[in-house]
Amino acid sequence: MAFLALGLGIFLAGLVVIGVECYFRHQVVQRQEKQQSGDSWNPNPFFRVPEYGYVFRPDFISKNMKSIAGETVFKVISLTDDCGRRITPVENRLFRTKFLAFFGGSFTYGHGVSDNETLAAQVAKWAPAYMPYNYGLPGYGPSQMLLQLLRHDLRDEIQEQEGIAIYTFIDEHVKRVIGTMLTVTNWAKGFPCFEERDGTLTYLGSFEQAHPYRSLFYRLASHEYILRNYNIDIPFHLERHDIDLTAAIIEESAKRFAEIYPKSRFYVLLYPRMSHMFGTQIMGRLQAHHIPCLDYRQLFENIPPEEVQFPDFHPTPESYARVARILVSDLNLGAQCPGY
């Protein structure tokens, strides 16, 4: 009798779970049909590689179009150079005797803006002595920056011998560092996994290689419609050690950059509106290790969001222009060079 009751209980619980899943599946499908949103690339500029997850195809031209609720948000064409970096068009190339290397994700890459409207391009307009290089890719975080500095000698890719590196931080980068469910089951499947072990930062391969059972659980959980309906991520809350790990990766990147370019400078830029959650903690640890930060979190405080953000929260050309002018002033990059 007890077994019969147990079986009946399990059966009824199963029906409830199935019913809940069906209900939330209907909700998710309806919302997706109503939103009619999409982010497309034609042709596809990305290809997967073991270490970074993916990189840009070199010497490539691609059209990127974003739509939300059936309306086009942006439609831009981007080009890459022979190193797979987004091209940054500049004038007076011969007068640019120093470099500006930009690292980060889509905010560095310039998702939604043209080649001549990215942060790198806007800074270069006001810094005539500096040649810009855009190492950002959509979806990237500090882990890719560290690998870029560890695996490649930038001196083989950058002609100038001295300059400045700028990494753009946003709060979402912490999730990419630790590999939350919503990241590793979407674009970050093959992203690099770093962890601190016995006080040493260690590269463990991709998240799937480092944590196969966790990755399997994430793949299964990500199909649950109740989680998808409420956009629930796992872990539910980011802890102090997650933020510390992110800072440690940035610190190691700054150290490696200094080894390659001992006479150059490395800065961390906290992007306006997008780094309020973890910016204070990240900046505190970095400054304790003598890594200078450009704290621009309040820069757009009194500006209407639509002027500086697309509906998907990526920066507009006006956003990059405002940040670029402040950055050039703060770092004193605007001195005229011969020929101007």
Average pLDDT over residues 335-339: 47
DSSP state of 95: G
Contact (CB, 8 A) for 275 and 297 = yes
What length is written for the chain? 340
pTM of this structure: 0.88
Q: Which residues contact 197 (CB under 8 A, 6 or more apart)?
A: none
Q: What is the DSSP string of 182-241?
A: HHHTTTTTT-EEEEEETTEEEEEEEHHHH-HHHHHHHHHHTT-HHHHHTT--SSSS--HH
Contact (CB, 8 A) for 299 and 322 = yes
Give the type of residue at 298. Q
pLDDT band, very low/low/confident/very high, at 219 (cuts 50, 70, 90): confident
pLDDT band, very low/low/confident/very high, at 37 (cuts 50, 70, 90): low
Q: Which residues contact 200 (CB under 8 A, 6 or more apart)?
A: none
> What is the C-alpha to C-alpha distance for residues 18 and 279, in angstroms, rounded to an integer?
41
Write down the residue that tokens 């810009």 correspond to. 132
Phi, psi of 288, deg, nearest 5: -65, -25
Strand partners, 131: 99
Average pLDDT over residues 28-44: 66
- pLDDT above 90: residue 197: no
Cβ atoms within 10 Å, residue 263: 8
| Max mean pLDDT range (44-48, 49-53, 232-236, 291-295) | 291-295
Give the type of residue at 108. T
pLDDT band, very low/low/confident/very high, at 229 (cuts 50, 70, 90): low
225 burial type by CB count under 10 A (0-12 exposed, 13-18 middle, 19+ buried): middle
Q: Express as a percent the part of the chain with pLDDT over 90.
A: 68
Give the type of residue at 181. M
- pLDDT above 60: residue 255: yes
pLDDT in tens, 153-174: 899 999 999 999 999 999 999 9
pLDDT band, very low/low/confident/very high, at 120 (cuts 50, 70, 90): very high
pLDDT in tens, 65-79: 998 877 888 999 999
Strand partners, 167: 103, 268
Average pLDDT over residues 89-115: 96
Average pLDDT over residues 329-335: 89
> What is the C-alpha to C-alpha distance for residues 297 and 274, in angstroms, rounded to an integer?
7
Contact (CB, 8 A) for 324 and 294 = no
> What is the C-alpha to C-alpha distance for residues 329 and 335, in angstroms, rounded to an integer?
10
Average pLDDT over residues 112-127: 97
Least confident of 28-32, 279-283, 292-296: 28-32
Which comes out higher in pLDDT, residue 8 or 114?
114
Q: What would you report as the CA-atom Rg of the chain, rounded to the nearest whole angstrom?
A: 22
Per CATH, the homologous superfamily of domain 36-330 is SGNH hydrolase (3.40.50.1110)
Contact (CB, 8 A) for 74 and 66 = yes
The distance of Cα 128 from the centroid of its chain, to the nearest Å, equals 27
- pLDDT above 90: residue 236: no
